[in-house]
Amino acid sequence: MTTTPSRSVDVVVVGSGPAGLSAAIELRRLGVERVIVVERERSGGGVPRHCHHTGFGLRDLHRLMSGPRYAEELVRRAEAAGAELRVGTTVTDLRSNGLIQLSSRNGVATIEARAVVLATGARERPRSARLVPGDRGAGVFTTGQLQQWTYLKHLPVGSRALVVGAEHVSFSAMMTLRHAGVRTVALTTELPRHQSAAVFAAATRFLYRVPILTSTRVVSVNGRGRVSDVTLEHASSGRRWTESVDTVVFTGDWIPESELARRAGLDIDEGTLGPSSDRFGGTSSPSLYAAGNLLHPVETADVAALRGRDVARRVARDVKSGAALSNLERVSLVVEAPLRWVWPNRMSSPRDVDGLFIRVGRFDVRRTLHAHQDGELIGTARTPRLVPNRSLGVSRDVLANANPRGGTIRLSLSV
């Protein structure tokens, strides 16, 4: 990358999903002058652009609307607030000192930012990354691909589908399939129960008459030119059978879109696989911040938006004062199984934490979360009922006695 920037700005936000746009709006509201939002797609708004169901905007805009409507509204507000949205523009390189390389139809440019907010979101783990063997016939999707395929491009999908997963997004995939005229044969999950809201599961089973196959693993996807069937296996009995389908949708199992964070050399959290950060998106590099589902894959759009605002407040303060903290000065939070991850996973002061998001690997009743630091139990808190793949919130009280200058804080669950 060329080291002579063609332009210098205050903040570059990478990604125009709910977190990125909300951060940009807040930055402008707080008086940060030059804010650019870089979006690699042709239109802003992120994943909600292709989520044609309601439920967006509740906690951040205090209105309920569809995904596309919500995306448009955030873009409108960002532009009205004076943020510059550059669509069709990709950040191809990012340095920890805030130098950014961009490619677009206008060419290749290097810009310099006093602060960069990475809001690149998360994606679903595709079939290949789940190591599901078999043939490579057409008809294998993720939900994100299926939604764009159906709602944005109106491409034909298939006629009979299997949805792999039974978390929130899996039910959304089923509704998209219905819209596309595809019959869903079943939802499958390797876990003993679905992980979504009871009402979604009940509607699936009784209203749409789609079975949810629990404790069921996808052994292989078969069919050469086109998917013809899927081999499934029941966990306890080991029984194997096939379902004839021409479409398979791999849903959920979110991973952060972390390439830029990795290339910029940021510390990565072993649990989330996103940059390790505190509540305000501070990372291991003083001029790089992160916001949204890149950090906690995934929370709902409105939560990502609210977190984006939080990050913006800190960025605005640091940009104005010229001071920023790096992760090296923060305490790490790590988890023990069956906890999968915690966010924030860095903390500078217990006062800064307004609650923890955790993920677990198994179902359980409510448990007590223990926090240990330097060998001492420093706090406990009750968890909600434990459901894998679902956002679980825990009170900040568990960290109230944490020592900001102490060692790593270990979180575990009572047996």
Partner 1 sequence: MSVTSMGDRNVHDGVVDVTVIGAGAVGCAIARHLARYDLSVTVVEQSNDVGNGTSKANTAILHTGFDCVPGTLESSLVRRGYDLLGSYAALAGIAVERTGGLLVAWDDEQLDALAALQEKAEMNGYAETRLLSAQQVREREANLGEGVRGGLDVPGESIICPWSTTLAFAKEAASGGVTFLFNSTVTGVAFGDANSVVTTTSGDVRTRWVINAAGLSSSDVDGLCDHHDFTVVPRRGELIVFDKLARGLIRSIILPVPTSRTKGVLVAPTVYGNLLLGPTAEDVDDPFDTATTENGLARLVDAGRRILPKLLNEEVTATYAGLRAATEFQDYQIRPHPEERYVCVGGIRSTGLTASMAIAEHVVELVIGAGVALTERNVVAVVPAMPPLGESQRRRYDDVEAIAIRNDYGEIVCHCERVSRGEIVDACTGEFAAPDVGGLRRRTRAMNGRCQGFYCAAEVVALLNELTTGPPSSSSVKAP
Listed ranges 201-209, 221-229, 296-304, 371-379: which one lies at the site for partner 1 (CB under 8 A): 221-229
Report the nearest approach of partner 1 to the CB of residue 227 (Å). 9
Residue 1, token pair as written in the block: 């990358």
With CB under 8 A as the contact rule, the residue among 80, 108, 235, 328 that binds partner 1 is: 108
Site pattern 69..88 for partner 1 (x: CB under 8 A)? -------------------x
| Cα distance between residue 147 and residue 348, in whole Å | 40
Q: Which residues contact 164 (CB under 8 A, 6 or more apart)?
A: 170, 187, 188, 218, 248, 249, 250, 251
Tell which positions 359-398 bind partner 1, by CB under 8 A.
Answer: none
Residues 6 or more apart in contact with residue 215 via CB below 8 angstroms: 189, 190, 191, 192, 234, 235, 236
Residues 6 or more apart from 289 whose CB is under 8 A from it?
115, 116, 117, 118, 277, 280, 281, 282, 283, 311, 314, 315
**149 lines the binding site for partner 1 (CB under 8 A):** yes
- Using rule CB under 8 A, residue 124 touches partner 1: yes
* Residue 92 binds partner 1, judged by CB under 8 A: yes
Residue from 240, 262, 366, 385 touching partner 1 (CB under 8 A): that is 262
Strand-strand pairing, 368-373 and 376-382: antiparallel
Q: Is 141 in the site for partner 1 (CB under 8 A)?
A: yes
Nearest-angstrom CA–CA distance, 205 and 185: 11
Only one residue has tokens 């669950």, namely 413
Does residue 104 touch partner 1 according to CB under 8 A? yes
145 binds partner 1 (CB under 8 A): yes
226 torsion bin: left (phi>0), alpha (psi -120 to 50), beta (else)? beta
For the CB of residue 103, give the shortest distance to partner 1 in the complex, in Å: 4
Report helix, strand or coil for 415: coil
Contact yes or no for 267/285 (Cβ under 8 A): no
Question: 149 vs 363, which CB is nearer to partner 1?
Answer: 149
Minimum CB separation from partner 1 for residue 412, in Å?
23
Q: CB neighbours of 161 closer than 8 A, spacing ≥ 6?
A: 177, 182, 183, 184, 185, 245, 246, 247, 248, 249
Q: Does 181 contact partner 1 by CB under 8 A? A: no
Q: Is 159 in the site for partner 1 (CB under 8 A)?
A: no
Stretch that binds partner 1, among 52-60, 148-156, 163-171, 291-299 (CB under 8 A): 148-156
140 lines the binding site for partner 1 (CB under 8 A): yes
Residues 14-53 that bind partner 1 (CB under 8 A): 40-41
Q: Name the minimum Å distance from CB 248 to partner 1.
A: 10
- Tell which one of 49, 52, 95, 123 touches partner 1 (CB under 8 A): 123
Minimum CB separation from partner 1 for residue 318, in Å? Answer: 28
Among the residue ranges 152-160, 165-173, 302-310, 343-351, the one whose residues contact partner 1 (CB under 8 A): 152-160
Figure out which of the listed residues 43, 66, 90, 97 binds partner 1, where binding follows CB under 8 A. 90
Q: How far is CA 51 from CA 63, 185, 291, in A?
A: 16, 22, 21
Nearer to partner 1 among residue 231 and residue 395 (C-beta): 231
Stated as kind and residue range, the H or E segment containing 308 is helix 301-321
Is position 144 an interface residue for partner 1 (rule: CB under 8 A)?
yes
What is the number of residues in the chain? Answer: 415
The tokens describing 172, both together, are 């959304």
Candidate ranges 22-30, 117-125, 356-364, 372-380; the one touching partner 1 (CB under 8 A) = 117-125
Q: How far apart are CA 313 and CA 321, in angstroms?
A: 12
Neighbours of 312 (CB within 10 A): 30
Numbers of helices and strands, H then E, in the chain: 8, 25
Cβ 129 to partner 1 shortest distance, Å: 5
Using rule CB under 8 A, residue 134 touches partner 1: yes
Binding site for partner 1 (CB under 8 A): 40-41, 88, 90, 92, 103-108, 123-129, 131, 133-136, 138-142, 144-145, 148-149, 152-153, 155-157, 219-220, 222, 224, 226, 247, 255, 257, 259, 262
